[in-house]
Amino acid sequence: MTATAKLFASAALLLLLLVGVPLFINATGRSDLYYTLTSVALLSIISAGVWITFYIGRINIGQGAYALMGGYVSAILVMEYGVSFWVTLPLAGLFCMAASVLIGLPILRLRGVYFAMVTLVLTEVARLLALALPITNGAKGIVSIPQPGRIGLFGLTIVPDFATLANPRFAFYIVSVLLMALCFAALYRLKNSRIGQLCQSLQQNEELASSIGVNITYLRVLAYAISSFLGGVGGAMFAAISQSIYPSSFTVADSINFMLNCFLGGLGYVFGPMLGTFVLYFGWDLLFQTGEFQLLIFSTILIALMLLLPNGLLSLRLSGRAKATAAAPPAHRQEETQARSTAAGRASS
């Protein structure tokens, strides 16, 4: 697919989410779907942060810690200091980024299961801190968080006060979809940039990358900081939507699900976390009718998908192309080979 085709496909998807989905929801009267789809969008943003750490060859099972941290930072700034939510949104991400740099410098030296075990502990540590610190209000959490206020410029209202809207869920949905689009557009640009190529070299062979002058420590910390920033922003948005935040809002199970979203969609694809989150979220709900067998069936399907599609659901498209190429007539393949040889000869001359 060419760059122009990818751009048109992305624009069509964004138009569908911003226009088509609201029209469908209004036609069916299922306004509850706004909250469901908003959750999917935010979970995909947090999962995208996990994807970044996978891209440098690290298994991250601690993203729930930064989502919880971001939610509390935003809630405390809004409730205790009267800061606008729109200001706390990037501040929550920056706070998580700063914390991840301090945490990441020592632990990013670890690899494989050792790094995974340390990050797994982070979510539980964050939960225990939220229970113990007075500013977080312990197990009671922080409740009755005001909805996002108005954003104005030169007397013009750019974003209305959510509390004055007849349907705030629609406003949260639009904001979440725009954040998701911005997040994955930035990830796509990052992957195809020079820094993205250097990060991929870490995934393949860190020693070789270091031997040719790549600053592997800088790239590790940078990737982990960006990952934590996305987790903090997603957590802050969740706190605003639910108007509350508790120590149990993000648990170890959530951190594992963020990782599964990346596996299911495909670790080699930027949009893998988005597709994985959508399938995992709605797949779990669809199996609700099975009752006590829900977890058994769900786990079996996940294991089967990972065995049959180890590169994720998005690998289906590429697998189909590979089979079509292999099944091409010999004459056609010979013509392609001759054309490539001719092009190579011209380039060398």
Q: Which token pair is 346?
A: 């011209």
Label residue 159 by pLDDT band (50, 70, 90): confident
Q: Which of 204-208, 265-269, 293-297, 325-329 has the lowest mean pLDDT?
A: 325-329
pLDDT at 300 over 70: yes
Pairing of strands 156-159, 244-245: unpaired
More confident residue, 6 or 18: 18
* Beta-bridge mates of residue 143: 244
What pLDDT, on the 0 to 100 scale, is given for residue 342?
A: 44
Quickly count: other Cβ atoms within 10 Å of residue 318's Cβ.
13
What pLDDT, on the 0 to 100 scale, is given for residue 307?
A: 87
Residue 334 backbone dihedrals phi, psi, to 5 degrees: -65, -40
pLDDT at 2 over 80: no
pLDDT at 187 over 90: yes
Residue 98 CA neighbour count, 13 Å, CB half? 7
Question: Kind and range of the H or E element at 105?
Answer: helix 85-107
Quickly count: other Cβ atoms within 10 Å of residue 228's Cβ.
32
What pLDDT, on the 0 to 100 scale, is given for residue 79?
A: 93
More confident residue, 86 or 167: 86
Question: Kind and range of the H or E element at 248?
Answer: none
Label residue 349 by pLDDT band (50, 70, 90): very low
Mean of pLDDT over the chain:
86
Q: Which of 24-38, 221-235, 312-326 has the lowest mean pLDDT?
A: 312-326
Judge contact between 143 and 75, C-beta under 8 A: no
Q: Which of 56, 58, 55, 99 is nearest to 235 (CA)?
A: 99
Label residue 289 by pLDDT band (50, 70, 90): confident
Mean pLDDT, residues 22-37 taken together? 89
Question: Kind and range of the H or E element at 245?
Answer: strand 244-245
